[in-house]
Amino acid sequence: MDELRIVRRFTTYLKEEQGQTREFKKMPIYSPVDFAICNSRKVTGWLEVRSQNFSYDDHRHVVIDLRKLYKLRDWAEWSTDAPVYFAVGFTDGITAIASVTPQIEEHIIDVKWMNRKRPRDDQDNAPAAWLSKEMFTLI
């Protein structure tokens, strides 16, 4: 599932479940999050998006680069008025979302070394966190 489709799903979820109409602004490449969630020009949240190349039921966990997870946690610590979300899209059309909080460690099942099948460069292989699916809401 591509990034734009995941964002559309999250937009619909915010509107239907929380009555919020929001605009998503793509963040610069160096930012630890993919999108700012805005109400007019006011930032009301942050969104990190991942697209997986397998179905939701294929694994019992969700994997994220450990460094990325801790950057999201750091943003959640200082961004008290704007929540940080992590959204994951799967090939079966399911999108899972989670709020990232400073207590994210409670949801880490394991930390393992991750080797990509097709690394973009040598730095693509790094420690990754295996997150419990219980922290996610399916939308």
Q: Which of 57-61, 72-76, 78-82 has the lowest mean pLDDT?
A: 78-82
What pLDDT, on a 0 to 100 scale, did the predictor assign at position 2? 87
CATH number at residue 57: 3.40.1350
CB within 8 A of 136, min separation 6: which ones? Answer: 62, 88, 96, 97, 98
Q: In sequence order, what are the beta bridge partners of 61?
A: 132
Overall number of domains in the chain: 1
pLDDT > 70 fraction of the chain, expressed in percent and rounded: 92
CA-nearest of 63, 89, 85 to 5 is 89
CB within 8 A of 30, min separation 6: which ones? Answer: none
What pLDDT, on a 0 to 100 scale, did the predictor assign at position 125? 80
Q: Provide the token pair at 110.
A: 């394991």
Torsions phi, psi for 78 (to 5 deg): -95, -20
What range defines the domain where residue 55 resides? 3-138
